[in-house]
Amino acid sequence: MRKTVLAKARILLSNAHCCNSPRQAHNLLSPLPSSLSRFLSSSSPSPSPSMAPPVSLHTINPKVLKCEYAVRGEIVSLAQRLQQELEVKPGSHPFDEILYCNIGNPQSLGQQPITFFREVLALCDHPALLDISETHGLFSADAIQRAWQILDQIPGRATGAYSHSQGIKGLRDKIAAGIEARDGYPADPNDIFLTDGASPAVHMMMQLLIRSEKDGILCPIPQYPLYSASIALHGGTLVPYYLDEANGWGLEVSELKKQLENAKSKGIAVRALVVINPGNPTGQVLAEYNQRQIVDFCKQEGLVLLADEVYQENVYVPEKQFHSFKKISRSMGYGEKDISLVSFQSVSKGYHGECGKRGGYMEVTGFGPDVREQIYKVASVNLCSNISGQILASLVMNPPKVGDESYESYIAERDGILSSLARRAKTLEEAFNRLEGVTCNKAEGAMYLFPRISLPEKAIKAAQDAKTAPDAFYCRRLLNATGIVVVPGSGFGQVPGTWHFRCTILPQEDKIPAVVSRLTDFHKSFMDEFRD
C-alpha cells in the first residue's frame, strides 16, 4: 500500500482532531462560527476542522480493532514485502524464495487437486460440454455421470443462480448420506447449512450465541485464531481451557470444569465449548473415551458443543482414528433432545485442499425448530454460499466408490497425498526435536507442527528491547534469515512464559530437506548469538 505524504498528513490530522475534540452530533440550534455555517447555505461547503472522518481508526467499531488474526498477521505482511523485494532485486536476501509455512493452504505449495472433483466442477460450470461428443474422450465417464446428476438437482441446471439458503437440496441429501456412511448414524439434510468454508458457519454460531460480553465461549489454548477473532467481533468473552502439552496436548475434563467455574464466578454465562479435532495448531486426535467425557460435560452443563472437524481426513497415526462427535453422542444414546451439537466440515483440508473454492458446511442438531428458523433467517441474508463450493462439499462427502471408473486413480491420488503428509509430519517433527532447546509433540493429525522453544534470557531481553513478543522476535529473525514464514505461538495462545511457533507440514516433499537444513542452521546461529 502506498503511503503518500498527503495520506500521512491526513491521518495525523484526523488523529489530532480526535484527541482534541471528541465527535459531537451536529446541533443546528447552537451558534456557529461563520466558517461552519456551510450547511445553512447550499453553496460550496467547507470541511469541519473539528470533525473526525466517519471512517477512521477512532470512529470505527472498536470490536474490529480488538480482533486479531495472526495467521495472516504482521510476519506474513513482512514476508510479502520481502517477496516483492526479491522479485525486484534478486539476491537482495540470503534466500531465493519465501516459503509460506504459515497457513494450511496446500495447493499454494504444489499439492494437486483431485482429478475427479475438478472434472465434475468443470462440467457443471460449462454444461454445454456435456452435449458434445469430444467430452467423452476428455472426461471420465463417472465424472460425466455425476455432473448430470448434480445438474439435474439444480433448478434450470443453472449453477450461476442463487440456491436455497441452506444449499442445494440434492447436494445436502448426498452430504447427509455421506455423514451416515461415515458414522453409522442417520443425518438429516435439513440439518445441513452449506457455507463458504467452515469460517462463515463459525461466525454464524458466534453471532447466534453471543448476546453481550457476559457470554463466554470455552476455547482450547492453543486455538485456531478464527475463534478468538470471531468472539471479539461479536462482542463476547473467550474463556480459555489449556491443552496439556506434556501429555500430547491432551484435553482434561477437569480443566474444562475448572475454567467453567472460574468464568461463572466472574459473572460470565458460558454458552458453548469449542473442540477442534484433530487439533489446530496442536494436531492431537482425541481418544474416544475423551470424546465421551466431553459430550457428557456439555450435556451436564447445558453447553452447545461446537465441533470443528475440518481435519477429519488428516490422521497420520495408526493408533488413533477420527470419530465425529455426532457419532460419539449417538453411540452414547444421546439424541436431539439431549445435546446441542454443531459439527463443522470444510473442503479446504483433508486430501482435497480446495481452500480457494470456499466450500464447507455445518450440521446443526439438537436445536428447537424456532432457533433453527432463526439460523435459516441469518443464512438467508447472504442468500447462499457459492455453488462450486457446494458441489465440492457433496463430492468430498461422497467420493468415487469401488467399481466407479475413477475409483482407482482417485484412491491413488488420495493415498499419495495423505501418506506424503504423514511422512512430512514425521520428518519435520524429528527435525524440530533435534534443535537445541526445542521440543515438539507429534502431529497425530491436521497440517501443523507446534514446537516449543525455550528462549534464552538474552533473546527475551532483545525481544523486549525491540518491543516484540519473544516468539514473534524469533519468527521474524527466522524469516529474515531463511525466507521461511511461520506464525508465532502468541497468535494461538499458549501457557504464559512458554513460546511456540506453528509451522505447516505442507511444503512439497522435495523441499523439506532444504527447509530442515535452513531452519537447523538458523536455529544454531540464533542460539549461538543469544545463548545464556
Which residues of the chain form contacts with other proteins (CB under 8 A)?
Answer: 1, 3, 6-7, 10-11, 14, 23, 25-28, 38-39, 44-45, 47-48, 51, 53-57, 59-62, 64-65, 67-69, 71-73, 125, 158-163, 196-197, 199-200, 203, 207, 226, 229-230, 233, 355-358, 378, 381-389
For residue 476, the minimal CB distance to other proteins (Å) is: 18
Which residue, 92 or 380, is less far from other proteins as judged by CB?
A: 380
Which residue, 114 or 435, is less far from other proteins as judged by CB?
A: 114
For residue 159, the minimal CB distance to other proteins (Å) is: 6
Contact 279, 250 (CB under 8 A): no
Please report which residue ranges of 435-469 form alpha helices under DSSP H.
457-465
Integer Rg of the chain from CA: 26
Question: Please, what sign has the CA dihedral across residues 197, 200, 203, 207?
Answer: negative
Cα separation, 81 vs 403, in Å, equals 50
Which residue, 105 or 409, is less far from other proteins as judged by CB?
A: 105
Q: State phi, psi for 487 to the nearest 5 degrees.
A: -110, 125
For residue 57, the minimal CB distance to other proteins (Å) is: 5
The secondary element (H helix, E strand) that includes residue 216 is strand 215-221
Which residue, 161 or 412, is less far from other proteins as judged by CB?
A: 161
For residue 453, the minimal CB distance to other proteins (Å) is: 25
For residue 51, the minimal CB distance to other proteins (Å) is: 5
Tally Cβ neighbours within 10 Å of residue 326: 26
Cα separation, 222 vs 498, in Å, equals 11
Which residue, 343 or 385, is less far from other proteins as judged by CB?
A: 385
For residue 249, the minimal CB distance to other proteins (Å) is: 24
Cα separation, 311 vs 348, in Å, equals 9
Which residue, 178 or 225, is less far from other proteins as judged by CB?
A: 225
Cα separation, 285 vs 447, in Å, equals 12
- DSSP secondary structure string for all residues of 14-65: HHHHHHHS------TTS---GGGGGGGSSS-----TT---SSSTTTS-HHHH
Beta strands 360-365; 304-308: pairing state: unpaired
For residue 271, the minimal CB distance to other proteins (Å) is: 18
Which residue, 13 or 317, is less far from other proteins as judged by CB?
A: 13
Total residues belonging to the chain: 532
Residue 111 falls in which region: left (phi positive, over 0), alpha (psi -120 to 50) or beta? beta
Which residue, 58 or 264, is less far from other proteins as judged by CB?
A: 58
For residue 390, the minimal CB distance to other proteins (Å) is: 8
What single-letter amino acid sits at 470? P
Which residue, 75 or 428, is less far from other proteins as judged by CB?
A: 75
**What 3-state DSSP class applies to 290?**
helix
Q: Which residues have CB under 8 Å from 463's CB, separation 6+?
A: 455, 469, 470, 472, 473, 474
For residue 42, the minimal CB distance to other proteins (Å) is: 8
- DSSP secondary structure string for all residues of 111-167: PPPPHHHHHHHHHHH-GGGGGSTTHHHHS-HHHHHHHHHHHHTSGGG-TTS---TT-
Which residue, 165 or 324, is less far from other proteins as judged by CB?
A: 165
Which residue, 125 or 301, is less far from other proteins as judged by CB?
A: 125
For residue 207, the minimal CB distance to other proteins (Å) is: 7
| Nearest by Cα to 224 from 66, 505, 450 | 450
DSSP state of 457: H
The dihedral over CA atoms of 264, 337, 279, 191, expressed in degrees to the nearest 10, equals -130
Which residue, 357 or 477, is less far from other proteins as judged by CB?
A: 357
What single-letter amino acid sits at 397? M
For residue 392, the minimal CB distance to other proteins (Å) is: 10
Contact 531, 487 (CB under 8 A): no
Question: Please, what sign has the CA dihedral across residues 24, 25, 26, 29?
Answer: negative
Q: How many alpha carbons fall within 13 Å on the CB side of residue 124? A: 28
Which residue, 226 or 455, is less far from other proteins as judged by CB?
A: 226
For residue 444, the minimal CB distance to other proteins (Å) is: 24
Which residue, 27 or 300, is less far from other proteins as judged by CB?
A: 27
Contact 364, 342 (CB under 8 A): yes
For residue 398, the minimal CB distance to other proteins (Å) is: 20
For residue 121, the minimal CB distance to other proteins (Å) is: 8
Q: Exposed/middle/buried for 494, CB within 10 Å: 0-12, 13-18, 19+?
A: buried
